[in-house]
Amino acid sequence: MPEADDLTALAGVGPKMAERLANLGLHQVRDLLFHLPLRYEDRTRLRAIGELLPGAPAQVEGRVDHAAIVRGRRSMLVVSISDGTGRLTLRFFHFTARQKQQFATGATVRCYGEARGGFQGLEMVHPTYSLLREGQSKPLADRLTSIYPSTEGIGQSTWTRLTDQALAQLAEGKLALQELLPENAMTGQRPMSLESALNYIHRPPPDADVAALVERRHPAQQRLAIEELLAHHLAMRLLNRRKRAHDAPRLDQDGELERQFLAALPFEPTRAQARVCEEIRADLAGRHPMLRLVHGDVGSGKTVVAALAALRAIVNGYQVAVMAPTELLAEQHLRVFGDWLRPLGIEPAWLSGKVTGKARASVLEAIAAGAPLVVGTHALMQDGVEYARLGLVIVDEQHRFGVHQRMALMRKGEAGALRPHQLIMTATPIPRTLAMTAYAGMEVSVIDELPPGRTPVTTAVLSAERRGEIIRRVAAACESGRQAYWVCTLIEESDAVQAQAAEAVALELRDALGGLRVGLVHGRKKAADKQARMLAFKAGEIDLLVATTVIEVGVDVPNATLMIIENAERLGLSQLHQLRGRVGRGAKQSSCVLIYDPPLGDLARQRLDIMRESTDGFRIAEKDLELRGPGDVLGTRQTGMLQFRVADLGRDAGLLNTVQEIADGLLDNHPHQVNGLVRRWVGDATEFAGV
């Protein structure tokens, strides 16, 4: 029996609907089973209107006494119903003429919603409802009603119909879902069977512990969470095995170029940098591809380490690709690598999605002909980019790339028998519990020392009401020859909205800071424009740089000593830490002002206090994980590879040891289960298989 089943075989799924579902990552019937409810409504009971409590959702049934369209600033449909115990008002801001007719006086209506106190007693705004025909009685639901995460064009009733069909197929055995968890997977208890867990989660009985379900700590969900964590962990381990199953070029010759490079550097590498370089050299000289993560707090000097690794590959006659997640960062690498390596006769090539036409053709030609160093964005790994002798891939800020990109990287070397080495640089300190899943099995180096002469950044947390004072502080800093950043943040908004906000702030600050030179960068600016602006800032031709979070990582301007971050309470702490890391990069005393919009809640206050008290990225990340979820540790838009359907690394961290143990057992003895789990939760297992 095939596990995979086409969604269009279901009633109600035509090509349009299939496309919408595909946008949510749902392609097969079994995918629906793993699309889990967000919350539940209890429609198994009717409550008397007289017993309704404000704020508590409930289902009631009553007779329509009156319905009218009330015209005001916004017209609305207002319906009054009663059931002998009390009276309730229903309000609809969006309605059709037909709806008004439906609510004929005397009709019976059943509705579900949250009652709240209104002008005329209790009311429900936009309840879900159905009208019962004269004399008709409608059975109550016998299960809790699941509410699913959704998207434009898929209503809750559609989700119910679709999941009903999927659950029926499961019950009838038309859809085979194998049990893939070993019996000892959950300590102290036999895990629920997959089928009963799914049935329970999609259609819980009326007496289910809804609070536990919503927080996803019910045993039925924990059973899935453990599977999911296990699958991700296995995928990473397979990847690492696959790596070991291949040979890599042995990059074991050292050369004059490295000595020249070190001699030309204006500083001595720190002990930590030297140690990490040694670790990398040892890997590069080995038989199998290196897969090493270099952690280094902001400003710890990862770029030098990367450059030395690149030189080692080049000296040995291989190509190096340096890949960054954004154009801005990639451009900065291009500049730094160019400045450092050009004197040694190495000119970096540049490739991003924006390089097109003739320029692209000529870069591709150079890469195919063996250009020693190529810098760019993920465009470096796309189809059509053929390397002559790729020996090393350096990835900056890896957590923004998913596990799939990492696969693509690994495949790039496949033309020949040798696979390239990989070096992954990250400034985001990842707490151990997260690293175990996200980077399972990877070698890790830590640059745990800052270059000498840095003075810690002092941080102040101020209310937006003190904006005037903050602007004066910027003026004072710039007038004394320093430079400053002003970061505008708007989370979850489009690039366009962010850009507008930044433009408005830049205007305001230009006005307020008459004599100063104010520059602006945001994601909507042309790459050349952004780069020109950044270069001007670096050269000291701009005093104040207004920016969106595009400057978050990697930007290096030692003379900038003041960082202002607006709406700091909305950002993840690690993101704040990275932003703050843009200052304090020289010997001068630097400061950072975190502006919040009052009032500030308790939790938000505690989080900002951590920023005030600590400049240690690891401590900040651990605290962040403690106070919020892992999504925030990596910053809301950075979760790429850590997005789970059921599991939550903060809440389920306790499961990770078990996950590792089970993984050990499965990998050694049960390849079939391993592949099944990876396919179910992560993606096509053949991608990960040890081919």
Ligand X SMILES: Nc1ncnc2c1ncn2[C@@H]1O[C@H](COP(=O)(O)OP(=O)(O)OP(=O)(O)O)[C@@H](O)[C@H]1O
Residues forming contacts to ligand X in the complex (CB under 6 A) are 267-270, 273, 296, 298-304, 427, 451, 553-554, 556, 558, 581, 585
For 441, left (φ over 0), alpha (ψ -120 to 50), or beta?
left
Minimum Å gap between C-beta 495 and ligand X is 22
Strands 76-82 and 87-92: antiparallel
Tokens of 256: 């004059």
Minimum Å gap between C-beta 335 and ligand X is 11
Minimum Å gap between C-beta 556 and ligand X is 4
β-partners of residue 73 are none
- What single string gives the DSSP state of each residue in 642-688? G--SS--TTTTGGGHHHHHHHHHHHHHH-HHHHHHHHHHHTS-GGGT
Minimum Å gap between C-beta 269 and ligand X is 5
Minimum Å gap between C-beta 593 and ligand X is 19
- What single string gives the DSSP state of each residue in 592-623? EEEEEPSSPPHHHHHHHHHHHH---HHHHHHH
Minimum Å gap between C-beta 270 and ligand X is 4
Closest CA to 281 of 72, 125, 443: 443
Nearer to ligand X by Cβ, of 51 and 268: the residue is: 268
Cβ burial 428-446 (10 Å sphere, 16+ → b, else e): bbbbebbbbbbbbbbbebb
Tokens of 403: 């596990």
Nearer to ligand X by Cβ, of 409 and 553: the residue is: 553
Nearer to ligand X by Cβ, of 174 and 454: the residue is: 454
Nearer to ligand X by Cβ, of 113 and 581: the residue is: 581
Minimum Å gap between C-beta 380 and ligand X is 19
Q: Are 290 and 423 in contact (CB under 8 A)?
A: yes
For ligand X, which residue has the nearest CB?
Answer: 301
Q: Alpha-carbon distance 75 to 601, whole Å?
A: 36
Nearer to ligand X by Cβ, of 47 and 585: the residue is: 585
Q: Alpha-carbon distance 459 to 462, whole Å?
A: 10
If DSSP codes are grouped into helix, strand and coil, which group holds residue 531?
helix
Minimum Å gap between C-beta 340 and ligand X is 10
Nearer to ligand X by Cβ, of 43 and 585: the residue is: 585
Minimum Å gap between C-beta 638 and ligand X is 14
Nearer to ligand X by Cβ, of 304 and 565: the residue is: 304
Q: Are 355 and 375 in contact (CB under 8 A)?
A: no
Distance, C-alpha 548 to centroid of its chain? 18
Sequence length of the chain is: 691
Nearer to ligand X by Cβ, of 226 and 304: the residue is: 304
Strands 349-351 and 373-376: parallel
Minimum Å gap between C-beta 534 and ligand X is 13
Nearer to ligand X by Cβ, of 176 and 265: the residue is: 265
Nearer to ligand X by Cβ, of 165 and 428: the residue is: 428
Could you tell me where the DSSP H helices lie in 95-193? 97-102, 156-171
Cβ burial 18-46 (10 Å sphere, 16+ → b, else e): bebbeeeebebbbbbbbbbbeebbbbeee
Nearer to ligand X by Cβ, of 296 and 431: the residue is: 296
Helices and strands (H, E) in the chain, number of each type: 23, 21
Given CA atoms 383, 384, 390, 394 in this order, what sign does their dihedral have? negative
Minimum Å gap between C-beta 2 and ligand X is 48
Nearer to ligand X by Cβ, of 109 and 322: the residue is: 322
In degrees rounded to 5, what are phi and psi of residue 31?
-60, -35
Minimum Å gap between C-beta 385 and ligand X is 25
